């Protein structure tokens, strides 16, 4: 599940400057002077581009900011335009991808193919289910609880791979699964206890019903996410998608679906729009919605960047470590209750992620030593999309 098709991604084009350096002696001294007198800003950008620390920090910031912004947008008590929000995300992301391709930044993005689109459309429908249920769960649950429960997706995906792809579950992986389940139980207990202790008795039932709705949406999100990831893995080999092709088709194909669902299922009256976009926060909400669409590209690019300058193992470890600051950000920005139970659940969920990553690293090392040519492959962008779904 943690296999990568390319360790270097398509970014080897950056090495073209080195090739130019080999030609300088044959071009004479005048041709070599511009390289020696290159502006400091160019050297600084090149240094950052090859910096493992910068890539890791960028990936973490992109992932954390997207979760925080999503929570901010959907956390309003009157918010009920989830399909519209997701449609805006997809539109912004698609337009940004097309713009970047026009600017030459996404050189290997293939032109739109209707045949591929038809084959990929069922995967896009699964993506709609994943992002919708995730948004609804985030609306009712705190960021720490949402992040901890997301670990359960790993368990479902792992056993799905055992059934469909001949995967295996090692004893250490089982240990990490146990820790994930335990952290989720502790998080739910701490969340419920905080609600019961923090409200009056006549309000407790309403607060608990809100939590129950959040847990129900979270459960659906776990299975929708696992179905999307497993389905994408099965189809992507046949499609030969690379780099940003997956993101492009996912966002483009979901736009009409989300718009139709929004028009049919959501209230577009002026009164409801005023409730969802109050004057005092209207501009901030619109900016957040636009940023959330761009953040999907940021996460994908930063994932590919991190893999290119570090390794797949380092990237997997960063993904596990990143869950801790995401959970902590919920405590900081949204006043989630800080209790012994909530802190213990966060720490335990963090440890379970580390144990799972270490188990997969060991399993990968053993399989490489035995059958180095039979491991299934997955493009870096689809891998980053999957990890973003699990973050």
Per-residue pLDDT of the chain (391 residues; tens, 9 = 90+): 434 333 333 333 333 333 333 333 433 444 444 555 445 676 777 777 777 788 888 888 888 888 888 888 887 667 888 899 999 999 999 999 888 888 877 777 778 888 888 888 888 888 889 889 988 888 888 888 888 888 888 888 888 888 777 777 788 888 888 888 888 888 888 777 776 665 545 566 667 777 788 889 988 999 898 888 888 877 877 777 765 778 888 889 999 999 999 999 999 999 999 888 888 888 888 998 899 888 878 887 787 777 777 766 666 667 766 777 777 776 776 666 677 777 888 888 888 878 887 887 777 777 665 444 444 444 444 444 444 444 4
Q: Give the tens place of pLDDT for each residue, 27-68.
A: 344 444 455 544 567 677 777 777 778 888 888 888 888 888
What Cα–Cα distance (Å) separates residue 307 from each residue in 31, 230, 379?
34, 22, 12
**Rg of the chain taking only CA atoms, in angstroms:** 22
With vertex at residue 169, the alpha carbon angle to CA 163 and CA 175, rounded to the nearest 5 degrees, is 135
Tokens of residue 311, six digits: 């390794």
Count CA atoms closer than 13 A to 106's CA, side-chain side. Answer: 24
Scanning the structure block, which residue is given the tokens 């390794």? 311
Q: What is the pLDDT of residue 2?
A: 37
Q: What is the pLDDT of residue 19?
A: 34
CA–CA separation, 302 vs 63, rounded Å?
A: 9
Quick one: 243 exposed, middle or buried, by C-beta within 10 A (0-12, 13-18, 19+)? buried
Q: Give the tens place of pLDDT for each residue, 76-95.
A: 667 888 899 999 999 999 99
Q: What is the pLDDT of residue 340?
A: 77
CA–CA separation, 105 vs 298, rounded Å?
A: 13
What number of other Cβ atoms are within 10 A of residue 2's Cβ? 18
Q: What is the pLDDT of residue 264?
A: 92
Could you tell me where the DSSP H helices lie in 240-370?
A: 245-265, 270-276, 282-309, 312-321, 323-333, 340-370
Nearest to 289 by CA among 45, 83, 126: 83
CA–CA separation, 102 vs 123, rounded Å?
A: 26
**Per DSSP, which regions of the chain are E strands?**
none
Q: Which residues are CB-contacts of 384 (< 8 A; sequence separation ≥ 6)? A: 299, 300, 303, 304
Q: What is the pLDDT of residue 336?
A: 67
CA–CA separation, 351 vs 355, rounded Å?
A: 6
Q: Which residues are CB-contacts of 31 (< 8 A; sequence separation ≥ 6)? A: 24
Q: What is the pLDDT of residue 316?
A: 65
Tokens of residue 362, six digits: 């060991």
What number of other Cβ atoms are within 10 A of residue 235's Cβ? 16
Q: What is the pLDDT of residue 202?
A: 55
CA–CA separation, 276 vs 285, rounded Å?
A: 9
pTM more than 0.85: no
User: 387 with 303: CB under 8 angstroms?
Assistant: yes
Q: Give the tens place of pLDDT for each residue, 184-229.
A: 888 888 777 776 665 545 566 667 777 788 889 988 999 898 888 8
Nearest to 252 by CA among 144, 124, 81: 124
Q: What is the pLDDT of residue 242?
A: 67
Q: What is the pLDDT of residue 262?
A: 92
**SS3 of 174, please?**
helix
């Amino acid at each position: 599940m943690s296999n990568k098709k390319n360790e270097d991604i398509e970014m080897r084009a950056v090495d073209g400057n080195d090739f130019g350096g080999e030609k300088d002696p044959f071009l004479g001294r005048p041709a070599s002077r511009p390289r020696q007198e290159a502006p400091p800003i160019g050297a600084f950008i090149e240094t950052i581009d090859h910096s493992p620390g910068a890539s890791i920090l960028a990936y973490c910031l992109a992932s954390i900011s997207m979760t925080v912004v999503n929570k901010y947008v959907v956390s309003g008590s009157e918010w009920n335009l989830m399909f519209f929000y997701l449609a805006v995300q997809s539109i912004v992301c698609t337009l940004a991808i097309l713009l970047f391709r026009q600017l030459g930044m996404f050189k290997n993005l293939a032109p739109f193919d209707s045949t591929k689109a038809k084959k990929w459309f069922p995967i896009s429908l699964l993506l709609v289910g994943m992002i919708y249920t995730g948004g609804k769960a985030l609306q009712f649950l705190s960021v720490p609880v949402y992040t901890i429960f997301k670990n359960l997706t790993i368990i479902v995906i792992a056993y799905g791979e055992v059934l469909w792809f001949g995967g295996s579950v090692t004893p250490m992986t089982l240990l990490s699964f146990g820790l994930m389940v335990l952290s989720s139980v502790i998080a739910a207990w701490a969340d419920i206890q905080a609600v019961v202790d923090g409200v009056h008795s006549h309000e407790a039932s309403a607060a608990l019903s809100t939590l129950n709705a959040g847990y129900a949406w979270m459960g659906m999100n776990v299975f929708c996410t696992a179905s999307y990831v497993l389905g994408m893995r099965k189809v992507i080999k046949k499609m030969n998608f690379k780099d940003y092709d997956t993101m492009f088709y996912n966002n483009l194909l979901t736009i009409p679906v989300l718009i139709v669902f929004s028009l049919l299922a959501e209230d577009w009256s002026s009164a409801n729009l005023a409730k969802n976009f109050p004057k005092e926060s209207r501009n901030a909400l619109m900016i957040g919605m636009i940023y959330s669409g761009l953040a999907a590209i940021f996460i994908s690019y930063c994932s590919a960047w991190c893999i290119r300058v570090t390794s797949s193992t380092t990237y997997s470890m960063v993904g596990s470590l990143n869950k801790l600051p995401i959970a902590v950000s919920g405590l900081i920005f949204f006043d989630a209750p800080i209790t012994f139970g909530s802190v213990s659940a966060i720490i335990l969920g963090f440890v379970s992620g580390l144990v799972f990553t270490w188990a997969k690293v060991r399993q990968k090392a053993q399989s490489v030593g035995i059958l180095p040519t039979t491991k299934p492959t997955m493009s870096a962008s689809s891998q980053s999309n999957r990890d973003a779904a699990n973050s």
